[in-house]
Amino acid sequence: MLNVEDLHHKILYPTVLVRTDKAGGSGTVIASVHAEDEYKTYILTNWHVIEDAIRKAKKWDPLVGRDVEVEIRAPVTIEFYKYRRLSILDRTDNRRADIVAWDKDGDVGLLELLSESPPDYIAELLPRDEINSIRMFMPIIACGCAMGHKPVATEGYITSLDERIENLAYWMANTPTIFGNSGGGQFLSDTGQFIGIPSRLDVVILGFAAQAITHLSYFIPIGRIYDLLQDWEYQFIFDPDYTYEQCAKRRKEKQDELQRAWERRWRRERELAQGGGVAEGNPEKKAEGTEDAAVVDVFKKLWGVPRPE
């Protein structure tokens, strides 16, 4: 059982505010590694917290001789909170972070912050092989920057482990959460281990207004988070058998393969256009591109590479 000081160190202090130009929410510091002569710190949040920092634009590509669609990601602001006498807010520290991976459907984003030193506090993730030990009625604590406030903690229990929303798994808790908690954390009360990201609330329509039901809080279970980190090749965050360098190399290889697949597709489209064929309506062209389409499907979550229109 954690004492009051432990709760501060394990739950309150790793919680941060995440801000874009138009929105804000919460985040949780989950890892920091020393690589390339600096510290790289990683923060989990919701995709919907950072979505307005991600946009698409047209850019001329001389390789294919036409505009292509590219993704542009603006930096976000991370606000750290520094305390004295354990609980009294002393100051805030604003830092810039980059969006390095995201999944719109899964509503998860991963941020990277570069610095000369690691953060003072990092959340402990529930080990992957202990996920099946989670049960209803286990006491938990939600922590996040509710309504843009400094981190607020609320207590409750896990109330459901088999929710499905848009064909994705969610867990439910009765820890009161509200707007601004999105992107923060749900933690086991007994150990302080991070088990998920608050993401949704039930709402009821009363007249012309929507009323949030704060004790019906859906959160992204840590199993889904592990799956995404693995898909994105960020296994070093949770698996000591992987290094930052190994994962960076694997990401680069996947991105290069995806780039080559798109370039082959663009070349075929250009050849068809020059030869009088219609790329989009040509069944032979579609069959020819099946292999490349499979590559795109596998690596579609690794953004930052120009995408075809």
* Tens-place pLDDT, residues 239-273: 999 999 999 999 999 988 988 887 787 778 777 77
Global pTM reads 0.86
What six digits make up the tokens of 196?
């998920």
Residue type, 64: V
Rounded to whole angstroms, the Cα distance separating 194 from 189 reads 10
List, in order, residues 6 or more apart from 53 with CB less than 8 Å away. Answer: 20, 21, 73, 74, 75, 76, 99
Residue pLDDT, tens place only, 177-235: 999 999 999 999 999 999 999 999 988 888 777 888 999 999 999 999 999 999 999 99
Residue 99 in this model has a pLDDT that exceeds 60: yes
Per the CB < 8 A criterion, the answer to whether 225 and 235 are in contact is no
Dist. CA 46–CA 34, nearest whole Å: 25
Residue 36 backbone class (left: φ over 0; alpha: ψ -120 to 50; beta: rest) = left
State the Cα–Cα distance between residues 50 and 47, nearest whole angstrom: 5
DSSP classification of residue 125:
B
Predicted local confidence at residue 63, as pLDDT: 63
CA distance 269 to 201: 45
pLDDT at 8: 98
Query: How far, in Å, CA of 48 to CA of 170, rounded?
Result: 16
Lookup: tokens for 187 = 């933690």
- Which helix (DSSP H) or strand (DSSP E) does residue 76 occupy? strand 76-84
Which residue is associated with the tokens 């707007």? 179
